[in-house]
Structure 1
Amino acid sequence: MKAADLGLLTSVSTPTVHPGGTRAVVSVTHPSLEADAAVGQLWSIPLTGHAAPRRVTRGFRDTAPRFSPDGRLIAFLRAVPKSAPQLYVVDAAGGEPVQVTDRTLGVSEFAWAPDGRSLAFVSREPEQGRYGTVEGIDPNGEPARRIRTLKYQANGLGYIVDRRAHVFLVAVPDVWAEPAVAPVPQPDGSTGEKPGVPDARQLTSGEWDDTTIAFAPDGATLAFVSARHEGRDDDLRSNVFLVPVDGSGEPVDATGGHGDFSVVALQYGLNGVLYVSAQEVGESGRDFVARNTALYAIDRPGAAPLLLTDPETVDLTESDIVAYGDDAVLVADRRRGALVLTRVTSAGDVERLTDDTTVVGGVGTAGEVVVASIADAGTAGDVALVTDGGLTRLTDFSRAVRAAGVIAPRELTVTGADGYPVHGWAVLPEGEGPHPVLLNIHGGPFAAYTGALFDEAQVYAAAGYAVLMCNPRGSAGYGQEHGRVIRQRMGTVDLDDVLAFLDGALAQLPGLDAERVGVMGGSYGGYLTAWTIAHDHRFAAAIVERGYLDPEAFIGTSDIGSFFSDEYTGTDPEHIRTQSPQAVVDRVTTPTLVLHSSSDLRCPLGQAERYYAALKRNGVEAELVIFPGEDHELSRSGRPRHRRERFEIILDWWARHLPSRTNRV
């Protein structure tokens, strides 16, 4: 795979399954270099017979499909160029979609009412005078913002205190009715009422965000997640609230009195039990470092949540909750570089349904039928039927990228200097070698590489580099102790582990050139790359991308600055400096490319600028690249042309400092 093949990478949404179990519908999207945006439509996937999958909508970007409870309609989100997504419904048999919302800032999620007559949705409510609510007032002409909270921005969004997310309810329009037409003016100049979208009723309000919605089976109650407590600006707690759909009462906190939770997801089971996944963040409400997400059940209103899964060994941080059968749900357990589909009953029985290598991205059900979106070494996104025998692949959306060239990763575990096992993968280029080596370090740190098709590893391997990727201590998927060991000890055993993996791979794998090695990483990976080159000078060059480089300057500038540095590097200034790449930048001699985005609010641009300036002042060969208009997610969801350009800049850097047979100046 080459940088120009970026548009061949497809992503597949969570499936929705027709109540009859005959077909599933997914959104299939890809980065379009022509449109310089992500584009995609809805596809219907037959679950019986031999019919082929087919595209069923033709919007610019259609996502998040959901069948109505009776299967007659499909609701989904549609975005047009340079506009926010809106909610639409369409006849499940086909036809012209009907627009349901026209929200200034769009719709982020929705849920069908059990009777299929209405939809709840989440949308940000802009403060009057901002965000286009007054024609002619652009962002630079808006009034000054008076900030009184620590948390007031979010990466990829910007300011949040003047556009809070709330829950709304809207009636489902009749998609079979005669279309409304806009009346022409009468001779006297009068006009009739122009057709519009249905009026939505606001269910929640306040100076907080209300998200993650689910209807109770009887349709009378809506559950959602919010942080409404008095200390919400100083901690990470969030709770489940229940609100009557008819507006007869105020939201009631269902979890705040029973523990210190940061809620991730929720869903009602078919038996009326409310399932909640959450992290325990301790008495301080801030103890988030490497906290696995566990599953809880609330069997009746007011009852304490019952813990169903062991937070040490099961991690549901990247999982939705899907009702399955009378007394169970399906979740995805983050485990050793995979997301394993897992059935959990209300009694706490756990059954794993997929293997330890497949990444299960989302699940839809209808009765006993289970359909999953998956990724593995051969696909960036496909749809599979889950059976007792495992997974039966129903689509092949990645055939084009495989034809362009995909190299299967080799799984590898090495033993560190202290005897600790370090797990990861190597993606090796074709040919005998010796191949120059790139040590890649992931972000997080409580995240993980997987064995699934990864565009970055493929592009670098196609350019002639042996790519090494591991999950050192601090990563997710290996238990909480594995992740928490670097809390206020960053740059210790995590550094030991990535270097041990490098040395182990060089010793075990043929064709690697131990004398020609580079190192690179983004976010926390940028941190550990910068830390590594201050302590180990074997590398021909380095790339520090969107890095967490200056813990002290992070506070007050990052959208997570109010808590991240305090918990990961501590609060004592001297102790912080023992973990700060900025504090040891004077030790760096390795040529370093610093990549960053201008609108990154997670690791703000100043982190890169200060680090780059120190490199230059110290006489180190360095280059700073800044991508305009991009945020922390550039490499994953940025503009496709910027993503391609990023690859080109990276390969140019390696061509100059670590040339391969096929990538050289």
Structure 2
Amino acid sequence: MLAACAAGALAQSGNPAPIKPLATHDPRLMDFYANATNTQAFYYSAIHTQAPSDVALSPDGATVAWTLGDDKSFALHLTLLAHPDMAAEKIVSPTDVGSCFNTSPVWSPDSKILAYTSTCTTENTAKSGDAQAQLFLYSVATGQSRQLTHLTGIFQAPVWAPDGKSLAFLFVKNATRQSSPLAPITPWSGVIGEDGIEVQRVYSVDTTTGQGAWLTPTTLHAYEFDFAPDSKHIAFTAATPPGDNNWWIAKLFTIATTENSVPQVAFDPNTTSTAMHGLQMAIPRFSPDGKRIAFIGGLMSDEGANGGDIWVVTPKNDDNTAQDITPDIDGSPSFEIWLTKNTLGLVENRRGHTLLTTYDADKQARIPGHVLDLGEVILGGFGLGGEAPLSVSHNGVLAFVKSGHETPAELWAGPGTALRQITHLNNPGAPHAHIESVEWTNEGFHVQGWLTYPSNYDPTKKYPVLVQVHGGPSSTVPTGWGRSLWSELGFFEFEPNPRGSFGQGEKFAAANRKDFGYGDLRDILSGLDAVEKQVPAIDSHREAITGWSYGGFMTMFAVTQTNRFKAAIAGAGISAWQSYYGENSIDQWMVPFFGKTVYDDPAVYAKSTAINFIHNVKTPTLILVGDRDGECPTPQSFEFWHALRAQGVKTQLIVYPNEGHLFENPDHLRDRSERVLQWLNKYMPAQ
């Protein structure tokens, strides 16, 4: 046995073998993905459209910068809003030769300089997206770019200091991987928890000399930051390393922008006596007068997936309190920006609609008449890095990328009362499938979701339904443009937003606490019953369920609670919360949802553990996972697969090499879709 264990450990430590290709390929799927060569191309081939991203509006409201890319390059465009019919008057790049990835534009406070990142640098001979990027400064007056930095590592989110003298950004020097739990983890070796920890800090560069300085210490992993109006301080959220694990317990700090300054705690959710106790923060923003800091605060399961209330802190009070200025809001703000010293503009998700609203921070109320319902759409593009969904100028001009079920992504801009479409990159044509919002009630909750009809739908025929459970759980089903593979292959798709989702306020988002797999599953099954009653063409005898991440857990747990599904596909799932707590790289995320650690309250974790109900399973279940997934590690999938095999349930486990929580290799993405299709064809065919 010892020899076998040692052999297994050695096998795991080497380079994993590639996935063995399937013997047959469905031509419909091959056509759908159009032979994409990388992740970006895979996405664009799937939606068959172009999507602008990285929108940055100049402070004077005259010019909007935006990017447009494919698998070979990302181009940075400048469009004068006074002449929007002149398509992209300028394309900014350090060179006219080669393929550059030019992204992350941000304007200087005087609108004269545009900073951006590019892989076409003096150091790089290869201009691929994997090359080391650097910061460049583009002069509007001269039309020329100059390279500002010569860094080694990964940086993101550049921000100008309000005085225009420097740029700051998040930076991991000599990074070996992206700072994100979604990125593939580095194989474990050395002293675990001590060796190889990479710390993301705020770094500032003088825009004249190019000289740099660290603004935050090595003892804190920084996640987000913002400059005070006087440029002498920054506010930032941070936690002790390792950064991937500790975002859920981050504090809000302020620190002077002089080197070697000492950070001061402005707000600590872990010790506050307010309703923010134990919750998470996102997007800290100084008010224009520098007296207050706003942030989104709420129960959040994933860094970057924002939702909650808008809270305001007065950092000089030293009383560790925060004020909720959006109490009882019926939506989920995902972005905020100060408009005046007393008012904030918000991007809200409310039951599948995106709203632009304005709140009075003093009155703690939405300003009447300042609500713009954009409909069933999402804001934001699909660039290479994170981006704000909305850009606002000093004179109230807005710019954003908008897409919906019926409209491809395009750039829009203008005052809130006179928004107009700026780009016309796509011929919208007819939607690829009919998608409608569906609503139902269950156990006192009003629940919303989406139903996608099969392509070429015929109401006289019967079609199977695929239930797709979103991840998170603090998330929501996006409403952007795109083709649906399963719709084109003859399936209905039901995508619910059960309790625990964003879109209906904090009470709804927190309604799954200590109840994973129970109330939320009842919401899903109740919704499935409702849509089957509403649409008789859905064949109630051909139902399947699938999901990724939390949706993978829900799939695993669902088949232990009901046998109504003919097939199940669990991606990156969680089968046993007790063992998961000790296996994953982000255990801090669970405490806000379960109330205590697994060591202090094992029973609450056992309650939602699928393995504990494994004798109930009859549903054939396909299991998929990446071998370097730190969020939902491979052993969780192994446990469920092993348990199903022991019970004689039809199952198959596929482990994809060198993949993290979100797959990056287009060959693996195609293979994954093909295996899912084959599983459905075998146990619940569309025809």
Query: TM (normalized to structure 2)?
Result: 0.78
Answering whether residue 147 of structure 2 is matched by residue 99 of structure 1, we say yes
Mean Cα deviation higher: 340-349 or 576-585: 340-349
Q: Choose which of 547, 550, 559 in structure 1 pairs with 2:576.
A: 550
How far apart, in 2, do the equivalents of 1:70 and 1:8 lie?
Answer: 38
The aligned runs of 1:23-102 (5 Å cut-off) are 23-30=63-70, 32=71, 39-49=73-83, 50-53=85-88, 56-57=91-92, 60-79=100-119, 80-92=128-140, 95=143, 97-102=145-150
CA contact (8 A) 2:353 2:373 kept: no
Cross-structure match for 1:147:
193
- The alignment yields a C-alpha RMSD, in angstroms, of 3.5
CA contact (8 A) 1:474 1:494 kept: yes
| Unaligned residue ranges in structure 2 (runs of 5+) | 1-30, 35-44, 94-98, 120-127, 178-184, 381-388
One-letter code of the match for 1:2?
F
How far apart, in 2, do the equivalents of 1:206 and 1:460 lie?
Answer: 48
CA contact (8 A) 1:126 1:162 kept: no
Answering whether residue 381 of structure 2 is matched by residue 381 of structure 1, we say no
Cross-structure match for 2:285:
267
Cross-structure match for 1:255:
267
Cross-structure match for 2:40:
none
Cross-structure match for 2:171:
123
Residue deviations 1:170-202, cap 9 Å, x none? 12158xxxxxxxxxxxxxxxxxxxxxxx33112
The aligned runs of 1:407-426 (5 Å cut-off) are 407-416=433-442, 418=443, 420-426=445-451
How far apart, in 2, do the equivalents of 1:657 and 1:15 lie?
Answer: 45
SS of alignment partner, residue 15 of structure 1: strand
CA contact (8 A) 1:521 1:543 kept: yes
Cross-structure match for 2:620:
591
CA contact (8 A) 1:297 1:307 kept: yes
Answering whether residue 33 of structure 2 is matched by residue 3 of structure 1, we say yes
CA contact (8 A) 2:500 2:510 kept: yes
How far apart, in 1, do the equivalents of 2:89 and 2:130 lie?
Answer: 27
Q: 1:9 to 1:101 in 2, by over 3 A?
A: farther
How far apart, in 1, do the equivalents of 2:322 and 2:138 lie?
Answer: 39
Mean Cα deviation higher: 299-308 or 365-374: 299-308
CA displacement at 1:594 relative to structure 2: 0.6
Q: 1:592 to 1:390 in 2, by over 3 A?
A: farther
CA contact (8 A) 1:264 1:317 kept: no
Q: 1:659 to 1:229 in 2, by over 3 A?
A: closer
CA displacement at 1:554 relative to structure 2: 0.9
Cross-structure match for 2:8:
none
How far apart, in 2, do the equivalents of 1:234 and 1:222 lie?
Answer: 21
CA displacement at 1:60 relative to structure 2: 3.6
Cross-structure match for 1:155:
none
Q: How many residues align?
A: 599
CA contact (8 A) 1:535 1:587 kept: yes
CA displacement at 1:385 relative to structure 2: 2.3
Cross-structure match for 2:510:
484
Residue deviations 1:32-58, cap 9 Å, x none? 3xx5xxx52222233223222356245
Cross-structure match for 2:396:
368
The aligned runs of 1:69-218 (5 Å cut-off) are 69-79=109-119, 80-92=128-140, 95=143, 97-126=145-174, 144-147=190-193, 162-173=197-208, 198-218=210-230
Q: 1:8 to 1:75 in 2, by over 3 A?
A: farther
CA displacement at 1:412 relative to structure 2: 1.0
Residue deviations 1:126-148, cap 9 Å, x none? 59xx88xxxxxxx9999833526
The aligned runs of 1:289-438 (5 Å cut-off) are 293-298=308-313, 301-302=316-317, 307-313=323-329, 318-319=334-335, 321-325=336-340, 327-347=342-362, 348-350=364-366, 351-361=370-380, 362-366=389-393, 367-379=395-407, 381-385=409-413, 387-389=415-417, 391-399=419-427, 402=428, 406-416=432-442, 418=443, 420-429=445-454, 430-432=456-458, 433-438=461-466
How far apart, in 2, do the equivalents of 1:460 and 1:597 lie?
Answer: 23
CA displacement at 1:596 relative to structure 2: 0.9
CA displacement at 1:2 relative to structure 2: 2.7
Q: 1:398 to 1:473 in 2, by over 3 A?
A: farther
The aligned runs of 1:615-626 (5 Å cut-off) are 615-626=644-655
Mean Cα deviation higher: 369-378 or 83-92: 83-92
How far apart, in 1, do the equivalents of 2:113 and 2:497 lie?
Answer: 43
CA displacement at 1:249 relative to structure 2: 3.7
Q: 1:229 to 1:629 in 2, by over 3 A?
A: closer
CA displacement at 1:547 relative to structure 2: 0.8
Mean Cα deviation higher: 304-313 or 593-602: 304-313
CA displacement at 1:608 relative to structure 2: 0.8
CA contact (8 A) 1:327 1:346 kept: yes
The aligned runs of 1:504-543 (5 Å cut-off) are 504-543=530-569
CA displacement at 1:22 relative to structure 2: 2.1
SS of alignment partner, residue 392 of structure 2: strand
One-letter code of the match for 1:61?
F
CA contact (8 A) 1:167 1:202 kept: yes
How far apart, in 2, do the equivalents of 1:55 and 1:623 lie?
Answer: 52
CA contact (8 A) 1:335 1:356 kept: no
SS of alignment partner, residue 460 of structure 1: helix
How far apart, in 1, do the equivalents of 2:513 and 2:662 lie?
Answer: 24
SS of alignment partner, residue 77 of structure 2: strand
The aligned runs of 1:632-643 (5 Å cut-off) are 632-634=661-663, 638-643=664-669
Q: 1:337 to 1:240 in 2, by over 3 A?
A: same
Cross-structure match for 1:225:
237
CA contact (8 A) 2:204 2:212 kept: yes
Residue deviations 1:583-608, cap 9 Å, x none? 22232221111111111111111111
Q: 1:627 to 1:146 in 2, by over 3 A?
A: closer
CA contact (8 A) 1:243 1:252 kept: yes
| Unaligned residue ranges in structure 1 (runs of 5+) | 132-138, 149-158, 175-197
Q: 1:246 to 1:207 in 2, by over 3 A?
A: closer
Q: Identity over aligned residues, as a percent?
A: 22
How far apart, in 2, do the equivalents of 1:622 and 1:142 lie?
Answer: 29
CA contact (8 A) 2:575 2:611 kept: yes
CA displacement at 1:551 relative to structure 2: 0.3
Residue deviations 1:62-87, cap 9 Å, x none? 22211111212111223443235432
Cross-structure match for 2:10:
none
CA contact (8 A) 2:204 2:215 kept: yes
One-letter code of the match for 2:108?
S
How far apart, in 1, do the equivalents of 2:434 and 2:291 lie?
Answer: 42
Residue deviations 1:144-170, cap 9 Å, x none? 33526xxxxxxxxxx8x6211112221
One-letter code of the match for 2:165?
R
CA contact (8 A) 1:68 1:116 kept: yes
CA contact (8 A) 2:229 2:288 kept: yes
Q: 1:427 to 1:601 in 2, by over 3 A?
A: same
Query: TM (normalized to structure 1)?
Result: 0.81
CA displacement at 1:525 relative to structure 2: 1.0
One-letter code of the match for 1:164?
V
Q: Choose which of 460, 467, 472 in structure 2 pairs with 1:444.
A: 472
Residue deviations 1:422-446, cap 9 Å, x none? 3111110222132221111111112
One-letter code of the match for 2:161?
A
One-letter code of the match for 2:207?
V
CA displacement at 1:349 relative to structure 2: 4.0
How far apart, in 1, do the equivalents of 2:567 and 2:634 lie?
Answer: 22
Q: 1:345 to 1:405 in 2, by over 3 A?
A: closer
CA contact (8 A) 1:164 1:208 kept: yes
Answering whether residue 629 of structure 2 is matched by residue 600 of structure 1, we say yes
Q: 1:576 to 1:117 in 2, by over 3 A?
A: closer
